[in-house]
Chains A and B, each alone.
Chain A
């Protein structure tokens, strides 16, 4: 096989090579990201999240002062192999496992970034947590990335976040 033939083969198969590359890197990146998320979640587990606006009475609140709106955002994308696979699986209609997992990672990462900001402020609770998101469009108009946003109001409790039911 001479050099010209080798170059021809590479040119012919490069989309396939990209797909194979995407298959492995996508899996590796997702695994490592999940591991990072789990470590960070353990570090930040002292900050509690609430979707309610107020805490149970027993938690005595201290407003933290001027700016206690905290948010965290992250933009993630799937690799080219899984994008293609998902495009095809629309025909049969099934759960897109890779996309489900991407959304889970995105939301957890957004929460972690929000919690870090709350930690910097010295908060131990985040109230009224809301999620929002955005689909970043690629050049050809297809969704090439998804943004995940989490935001809430960081507050401090006087008893360090312990829940003590009121005895009447």
Chain B
């Protein structure tokens, strides 16, 4: 079952029938040693650290998937008002989280 994801508080052309509450997903990732070394070299000359771009992108996809699983467990067919956030847990490890409101829409 596909689920509608949006970061606006309303869905154009649809109406919220039932409110199911807050759903969230998070991941804590540490950096890959190989990527860290590559990033260290890139850090000397400047420019994009592609390893980290991919790493953070994948981690964000994963926590979104967890949030979606959470929403599906509640029987939602949409998650509205989605927000992304980050926090630093320990040296080198980062938490990415995403949260939103699970709803049933028409």
Contacts and interface: CB of A to CB of B under 8 A. Distances in A.
Interface of A: 18, 21-22, 25-26, 29-30, 33, 53-54, 61-63, 66-69, 71, 73-80, 82-83, 127-128, 130, 132-139, 141, 144-145, 147, 149, 151-153, 155
Given A73-B57, A137-B91, A145-B52, A30 B7 contact: no
Contacts, number: 135
Nearest to B9: A53
Please indicate which of the listed interface residues B5, B46, B48 has the most CB atoms of chain A within 10 Å of its own CB: B46
Interface of B: 2-14, 31, 36, 39-40, 42-50, 52-53, 56-57, 60, 82-86, 88, 91-92, 94, 96
A77 B4 contact: no
Contact of A137 (B50, B85, B88): B88
Contacts of A18: 44
B8 A54 contact: yes
SS of B interface (majority):
mixed
A69 B82 contact: yes
B59 to A, nearest CB: 10
A153 B8 contact: yes
A42 to B, nearest CB: 20
A145 B43 contact: yes
A149 B7 contact: no
B39 A144 contact: yes
A66 B4 contact: yes
Nearest to B12: A61
A42 B87 CA distance: 34
B2 A63 contact: no
Please indicate which of the listed interface residues B36, B45, B47, B82 has the most CB atoms of chain A within 10 Å of its own CB: B45
B2 A67 contact: yes
B56 A147 contact: yes
A53 B80 CA distance: 12
B49 A76 contact: yes
A62 to B, nearest CB: 7
A102 to B, nearest CB: 9
Contacts of A63: 11-14
